[in-house]
Structure 1
Amino acid sequence: MKKPLSMRIRPKTFDEFVGHKDVLTRDFKEKIRSGNVFHLILWGPPGSGKTTLALLIEKESGLDLIRVSGAEVGIKDIRKIIEEAKKKREFFKKETILFIDEIHRLNRKEQDFLLSFVENRDIVLIGATTENPYFYIVPPLLSRCFLIELSPYSEEEMKSILEKGLKETGIELNGEAKDFIVELSRGDARFLLNILESLEGDIKKSFTKEEIQKFVLSKRIKFDKVEEHYNLISALIKSIRGSDPDASLYYLMRLIEGGEDLNFITRRLIILSSEDIGLSDPFSLVLATSGAEAVERVGLPEAKLILSELVLYLSKAPKSNKVLTAMKLALEDVKKYGNIPVPLHLRNPSVKGLKEIGWGKGYIYPHDHPEKKIEYLPKELKGRKYLK
């Protein structure tokens, strides 16, 4: 049985690696080749070369690499790997790279568990993620790693990868067909190679643009494309906003079955509870936050039930965007008028002498005098109404 195409044409050295020349500097390569591998977080969209780069670091450094998935590994597994790595370092003076694919799928407890071992360099950590690490990786762990952002491949780089794939598979494409596959893949090398690998199984070896179009449309491909990822979350949010519980539940299941990160879903639902429901049902924010915590604790498959309850509640809740519109109006004035001085009567005369120059003078404690009203906004904004 043939290996996947991506494995068959995977580069064996840094010099064979396509693209990311801003990352693969001379200094970077020399340090890796000397065995001086630092803790890394590789952040980039699907098919941008994160796994390939990690495996190249293994080859070029001469270190051993253990690869796990953040979606499947737990503390027990990590502890076992680290204990073996510590023994290897003690007896053979050789470090071990722990490569965690989808590191953003580790929960906070699992990430915290890694901290001391990363700090003591019991393992060399390399994590790969498609999600913004500043949102998904705990700051203490992130601060101990170098962050490398990998951009989608350029058109020329994709053409180079395509030519390697064509040579390996023996498939022939005319110029129009090549351009179509490159454009369709949008910088995702894995997607491009998956198309070629699917075509490789056909009796034919030569394809036109039209034939490839029909082939791609006829395949029911599990999403890993960035645009489909955002299309589905957009459909979920708009269905909830439009108070359609059935459509909301459908798109939620599409996301989960498509392998979407549950933290990404819950974060968007928390935002929606303020943006689209807000003051019409303030409990929705409490429920969304509580639901996010429950999902993280329980995990799949039971988390589907929790998310379903949350999505159905939010879709049935009364809708209001008053919080959003009020926030935008206030922000407009902040940008327009800049740092207007706080009125004297609202300032805190905490330091001796400030009271004498008018700080706090005229302020009325509303609990003692509910019948009296004072101005709270600066005089330049007198009469402004943000919440309508």
Structure 2
Amino acid sequence: MARFSPRSPGVVGEGRGATVGGVSDLFAAAAEERLRAQAPLAARLRPKNLDDVVGQTHLVGSGKPLRRLVEQDRLTSAIFWGPPGTGKTTLALAVAGSTKRAFEQLSAVTAGVKDVREVIERARHRLGEHGRGTILFLDEIHRFSKAQQDALLPAVEDGTLTLIGATTENPFFEVNPPLRSRSTLFRLEPLAKADIETLIARGLQAEGRDATAEAVAHLADRAGGDGRQVLTALEVACALAHPGRVELEHVEAALGTSALRYGRDDHYD
């Protein structure tokens, strides 16, 4: 039976070591390493910079719009728009890792105006005291009310912070016109099969496993362009196969536990 072994370079966490702060920093670093090791596979594989991003080459390929803006440190506020699992959060983290700006993250599901104002205040302090800009990644920005979105406007307009909003909804309907007009829209596409295969290879490498070609092909065929769900299914398949290689039967069983088809809450189309 044909076998598939990962050949692509792995993408791991930030890998921070201890700082000069003493014993407490050593404990903090050790705790961070343990947390990272226990994180879901999709989280462990998140890239640190644009070069590690899988897919979205129309945005991050050589000479493409988003890459050029980041490389020239001219990125203003942006909206990442696309289906689930296309890497909106991943891309925001990679953008932050490719710049010298600080990174803050909020979810519109749980955050309110108070949280936004606190981020803006920290961004002002950071810019004034250290001359360092701030990227605010706001996941599911479409869930913010008009008043909540309006609270971001002054800081976005004067450059206190760079907003990156992520949404599965059409921003022309769900993002307030004043905020949208101050943001560049970047549309993320479902991952191509070759990109999915690259993710699978990296996932297998991170798990220290190999897999049959049949198992990989079946998983890639069922992915539907959703990188996060394919890595979730792969992680389950690796657990089922432990300690051996991943076979087709493991992938089929794992897919039975994974929602790889878009549901009614996905309004991207």
Query: TM-score range with shorter-chain normalisation?
Result: 0.7 to 0.9
Deviation, 1:155, is 0.8
The answer to whether the aligner puts 1:17 opposite 2:53 as a matched pair is yes
The answer to whether the aligner puts 1:167 opposite 2:205 as a matched pair is yes
Distance, in Å, in 2 between the alignment partners of 1:8 and 1:107 is 32
- The code of the aligned residue for 1:192 comes to V
Which of 237, 240, 257 is residue 199 of structure 1 equivalent to? 237
Which of 128, 138, 142 is residue 176 of structure 2 equivalent to? 138
The answer to whether the aligner puts 1:103 opposite 2:141 as a matched pair is yes
Which of 41, 45, 64 is residue 5 of structure 1 equivalent to? 41
Q: Report the aligned-residue RMSD.
A: 1.9
What TM-score results when the alignment is normalised by the length of structure 1?
0.55
Distance, in Å, in 1 between the alignment partners of 2:261 and 2:182 is 28
Which whole-Å deviations, capped at 9, do the CAs of 1:118-173 have from their partners, x for residues lacking one? 11112110001111111211111111100000000111111111111111112322
Distance, in Å, in 1 between the alignment partners of 2:250 and 2:66 is 43
Which residue of structure 2 lines up, in the alignment, with residue 86 of structure 1? 124
The answer to whether the aligner puts 1:213 opposite 2:252 as a matched pair is yes
Question: What is the aligned-residue identity percentage?
Answer: 33
Distance, in Å, in 1 between the alignment partners of 2:66 and 2:250 is 43
Deviation, 1:30, is 4.2
The answer to whether the aligner puts 1:70 opposite 2:108 as a matched pair is yes
- The code of the aligned residue for 1:110 comes to Q
Which whole-Å deviations, capped at 9, do the CAs of 1:37-63 have from their partners, x for residues lacking one? 211100011111111111111111110
Contact 2:237 2:253 in 1 (8 A): no
Deviation, 1:84, is 1.1
Distance, in Å, in 2 between the alignment partners of 1:66 and 1:207 is 37
Distance, in Å, in 2 between the alignment partners of 1:95 and 1:215 is 43
1:275-290 superposed matches below 5 A = none
Distance, in Å, in 1 between the alignment partners of 2:224 and 2:164 is 26
Q: From the two aligned structures, give the one with the greater helix fraction.
A: 1
Contact 2:80 2:88 in 1 (8 A): yes
1:292-307 superposed matches below 5 A = none
- The code of the aligned residue for 1:63 comes to R
Distance, in Å, in 2 between the alignment partners of 1:15 and 1:79 is 33
Q: Secondary structure at the match of 2:76?
A: coil
Distance, in Å, in 2 between the alignment partners of 1:62 and 1:34 is 12
Where structure 1 has 5 or more consecutive residues not aligned to the other structure, the ranges are 231-259, 265-388
Q: Secondary structure at the match of 1:185?
A: coil
Rg: which structure is higher? Answer: 1
- The code of the aligned residue for 1:212 comes to V
Distance, in Å, in 2 between the alignment partners of 1:136 and 1:83 is 26
Distance, in Å, in 1 between the alignment partners of 2:40 and 2:253 is 23
1:337-376 superposed matches below 5 A = none
- The code of the aligned residue for 2:86 comes to S
Contact 1:35 1:63 in 2 (8 A): no
Distance, in Å, in 2 between the alignment partners of 1:17 and 1:215 is 25
Q: Secondary structure at the match of 1:12?
A: coil
Deviation, 1:226, is 5.1
Which of 187, 211, 216 is residue 149 of structure 1 equivalent to? 187
Where structure 2 has 5 or more consecutive residues not aligned to the other structure, the ranges are 1-33
Which whole-Å deviations, capped at 9, do the CAs of 1:92-138 have from their partners, x for residues lacking one? 11111110011111111101221122111121100011111112111
Q: Secondary structure at the match of 1:18?
A: coil
Distance, in Å, in 2 between the alignment partners of 1:37 and 1:212 is 40
Distance, in Å, in 2 between the alignment partners of 1:107 and 1:127 is 14
Distance, in Å, in 2 between the alignment partners of 1:19 and 1:47 is 11
- The code of the aligned residue for 2:40 comes to P
Contact 1:97 1:125 in 2 (8 A): yes
Question: 4+ residue stretches of structure 1 with deviation over 3 A?
Answer: none
Q: Secondary structure at the match of 1:206?
A: coil
Alignment CA distance shift 1:162-1:65 (3 Å): same
Distance, in Å, in 2 between the alignment partners of 1:87 and 1:5 is 35
Which residue of structure 2 lines up, in the alignment, with residue 249 of structure 1? none
1:308-387 superposed matches below 5 A = none
